[in-house]
Structure 1
């Protein structure tokens, strides 16, 4: 198991915690593969009814680790990164159990977009969402070209995906993207009690009802994932992206 991802199971609730607090829980190439496998395994594990995603420390996740996006030994890193991203998002789309995110802090990029593929999102009052794709010479992913306009409306989705609007957890709550906001450990404990309470419900009824809720969007989500990954394959090879990454690294280095 990847030490940068903590996994525990208790009373049919699986908790998956991103464990790179010193790196704002940025997701590496190896973490993508590990998280995909965790979701796929949980999907067929009869001892798991609910999977909860969260982060350790102040961030839920800052998104892609631009320093460590793929395997150093890969013969075709772009192709590998595309396949890894597609599989990761596909694991969210096809996850048959209840998938809940506890956004303990900021969620950026892929961490923000995949929240829309979860069944329920709870958030800290200090959390925010941001998708700075264009600033990095990239394009949207995580099926956000499909999910965001349906949640936020076309205007706000465009502001987020193209202009990198930083959305507070309160604003996300008003749009229905977030189900509940917590501001204290006591409130968070109540959320966990609610999550564990799900496992006392009739299992087949719960999971079949989720399937009904998701089935009408599923084909569109799969198509969005395909098209977004195709575009990203092109963007990753672009001069705009290469320059944006160099500028990002330079700005980080200058602050050391």
Structure 2
């Protein structure tokens, strides 16, 4: 897969390591429809490419990602269109996006270079390894925004963090610091942001591992949680679609943008 760049993503290959960077720094790398649609295709291509063993995700600038681009939610309110059809398409786009993380058969690593919000945090939890910088923190303000847990977090967060800390994050808008993330085994290692090249060197070494053995071992691990994770993601998608129609959601989104004025 050759190096390339588009509006929302930068792709760079170093040996058998593929680095995918969220590239919307002016929007704090918020995920737009291009990212939702393009990233799953990148994963699918990388899965078939014998010259790729490891895929790593990171962000351009100071943020890993601020999560879903909320400006799209305001636009939906203002559009004169088939709202049911739009919501249904959005739901299946998100499902494809989420599934592309936990079905990826090779090594998938999140290199969280800064703050990581919402769907960025929940999909990071679906990666095989998370490394985070000393400037990073994780936040899932779903309830504050009038929506609900997504990205499999109703299953993965309690499993990784324990019930109490997971509830604090998913219900109460708690910001999980880098130190907390390491303490609760959410991340494997904290790196100094000015020493990120050490992480790339480590991943290049990982990419030299025997791909057959890596894929087989990962599949054995994936199969343990596959059914429960799929069930959680489907339940979350249904609940999320219902939340999009509520006054709580629209009021929360309007309140969020008014606070930015």
CA distance in 2, matches of 1:198, 1:174: 24
Question: Which residue does 1:223 correspond to in 2?
Answer: 231
- Give yes or no for contact 1:74–1:80 (8 Å, CA) kept in 2: no
**Pick from 29, 32, 36: which aligns with 1:32?**
36
Change (3 A) 1:86 1:184: closer
Question: Which residue does 2:202 correspond to in 1?
Answer: 194
**Pick from 48, 51, 54: which aligns with 2:52?**
48
Map 1:1-256 onto structure 2 (within 5 A). Answer: 2-68=6-72, 75=82, 76-186=85-195, 188-252=196-260, 254=261
Unaligned runs of 5+ in 2: none
SS at match of 2:31: coil
Instruction: After TM superposition, give the deviation of residue 86 of structure 1 in Å.
Output: 0.5
CA distance in 2, matches of 1:100, 1:118: 6
- Give yes or no for contact 2:13–2:19 (8 Å, CA) kept in 1: yes
Aligned residues: 252
CA distance in 2, matches of 1:2, 1:68: 20
TM-score, normalising length: structure 1? 0.94
Pairwise CA RMSD of aligned residues?
1.6
Deviation string for 1:94-131 (max 9, x for gaps)? 00010001000000000011111001111010100000
CA distance in 2, matches of 1:74, 1:226: 26
Unaligned runs of 5+ in 1: none
CA distance in 2, matches of 1:10, 1:190: 14
SS at match of 1:210: helix
CA distance in 2, matches of 1:27, 1:160: 20
